[in-house]
């Protein structure tokens, strides 16, 4: 046997994505390079690790067993690095955070200085939909979640970060009533806030358009396809460039809070505690330096 750590890492990514194409994208490698490394690993086993059926890649039972072992091997190698750094007096470990999609405009600013000062910490940041964020938190797969609406039936602790403000926006300063409202997908916190608002103020209107990401909604509004209620945090450049306009409406903006949450029963690691202490001590400074434009609205 003469397989490499690199081959095991590539194989694990293929197992996770069930696709050479997706694995290559996430690894920033070409598809042929991934395929070659996967073949080099496979050549060392007489039993197939993967198989292709109707152009779909499947991991065999043997491959799944090898993936479990490979994951342990790679984790132990990471532990060696962490342990080495710990002996050098460096705070080490992994910090895992899952954020709802619009949270990508918030969380980086609450991480950058912490990571600059903590070179021994590896960050795993998953920006995804609300359902996946809550599921990751519920299954104890992450240290923290960033949300604007608290999940139901979960006992959690929280640290407030910044107010979340949602405005009605369009690509002109005057609203054309003939154009439709553009909604996020079911389960989105922004979608829920938008539905509640229009149910109270204009009755239940048939939605005309539904898009699955905040960025897609933003581009649709810029293109003039309709109007939407959107988080202010994600449209700074478009407001400055005159691509989007805030439309004055009764009882807007809708306000919630961006908050970092974690399971109440979770025993926080030294890395998690260090990050929480950083947030509590530096939050006001971050708000003043990074979100001054936002706080003025």
Let me know whether 38 and 152 are in one domain: no
Phi-psi region of 244 (alpha: psi -120 to 50; beta: other; left: phi over 0): beta
Let me know whether 15 and 52 are in one domain: yes
Let me know whether 267 and 238 are in one domain: no
101: enclosing H helix or E strand: none
Domain at 200, CATH number: 3.40.190.10
Domain that holds residue 108: 93-163+257-295
Let me know whether 157 and 116 are in one domain: yes
Number of domains in the chain: 3
Confidence tier at 175 by pLDDT (50, 70, 90)? confident
Q: 218-231, pLDDT tens digit by residue?
A: 999 999 999 999 99
* pLDDT average, residue stretch 184-188: 83
Residue 90: its pLDDT value, please? 63
DSSP string across 126-165: EEE-HHHHHHHHHTT--SEEEESSPPTT--EEEEEEEEEE
N residues, the chain: 297
Dihedrals φ, ψ of 210, to 5°? -135, 125
Let me know whether 98 and 219 are in one domain: no
* Single pTM value for the model: 0.69
Q: 48-105, pLDDT tens digit by residue?
A: 999 988 888 899 999 999 999 988 888 777 777 766 665 566 677 889 999 998 999 9
* pLDDT average, residue stretch 190-210: 77
Let me know whether 157 and 269 are in one domain: yes
Let me know whether 262 and 124 are in one domain: yes
Rounded-to-integer distance, Cα 132 and Cα 264, Å: 19
> Nearest to residue 141, comparing CAs of 16, 273, 12, 263?
263
* pLDDT average, residue stretch 101-110: 94
Residue 243: its pLDDT value, please? 95
Has residue 205 got a pLDDT over 70? no
Final residue belonging to a domain, choices 37, 72, 87: 87
125: enclosing H helix or E strand: strand 121-128
Q: 28-43, pLDDT tens digit by residue?
A: 889 999 999 999 999 9
Let me know whether 275 and 252 are in one domain: no
> Nearest to residue 134, comparing CAs of 148, 123, 121?
148
* pLDDT average, residue stretch 253-260: 94
Q: What is the mean pLDDT of the chain?
A: 89
Q: 233-244, pLDDT tens digit by residue?
A: 999 999 999 999
> Nearest to residue 43, comparing CAs of 19, 11, 15, 68?
11
Residue 204: its pLDDT value, please? 52
């Amino acid at each position: 046997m003469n397989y490499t750590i690199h081959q095991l890492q590539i194989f694990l990514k293929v197992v996770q994505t069930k696709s050479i194409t997706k694995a290559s994208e996430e690894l920033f490698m070409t598809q042929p390079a991934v395929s070659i490394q996967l073949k080099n690993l496979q050549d060392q086993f007489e039993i197939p690790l993967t198989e292709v059926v109707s152009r779909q890649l499947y991991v065999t039972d043997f491959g799944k067993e090898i993936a479990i072992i490979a994951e342990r091997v790679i984790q132990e190698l990471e532990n060696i690095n962490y342990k080495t750094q710990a002996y050098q007096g460096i705070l080490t470990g992994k910090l895992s955070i899952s954020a709802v999609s619009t949270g990508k405009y918030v969380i980086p600013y609450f991480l950058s200085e912490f990571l600059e000062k903590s070179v021994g910490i590896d960050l795993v940041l998953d920006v995804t939909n609300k359902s996946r964020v809550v599921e990751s938190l519920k299954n104890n797969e992450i240290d923290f979640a960033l949300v604007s609406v608290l999940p139901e039936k979960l006992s959690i602790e929280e640290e407030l970060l910044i107010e979340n403000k949602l405005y009605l926006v369009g690509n002109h300063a005057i609203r054309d009533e003939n154009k439709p409202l553009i909604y996020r997908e079911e389960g989105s916190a922004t979608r829920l806030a938008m539905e509640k608002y229009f149910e109270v103020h204009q009755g239940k209107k048939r939605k005309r358009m539904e898009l699955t990401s905040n960025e897609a909604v933003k581009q649709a509004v810029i293109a003039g396809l309709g109007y939407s209620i959107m988080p202010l945090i994600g449209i700074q450049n478009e407001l400055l460039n005159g691509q989007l306009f805030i439309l004055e409406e009764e009882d807007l903006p809708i306000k919630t809070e961006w908050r970092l949450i974690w399971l109440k029963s979770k025993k926080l690691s030294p890395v998690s505690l260090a990050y929480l202490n950083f947030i509590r001590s530096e939050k006001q400074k971050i708000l003043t330096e990074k979100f001054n434009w936002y706080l003025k609205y």
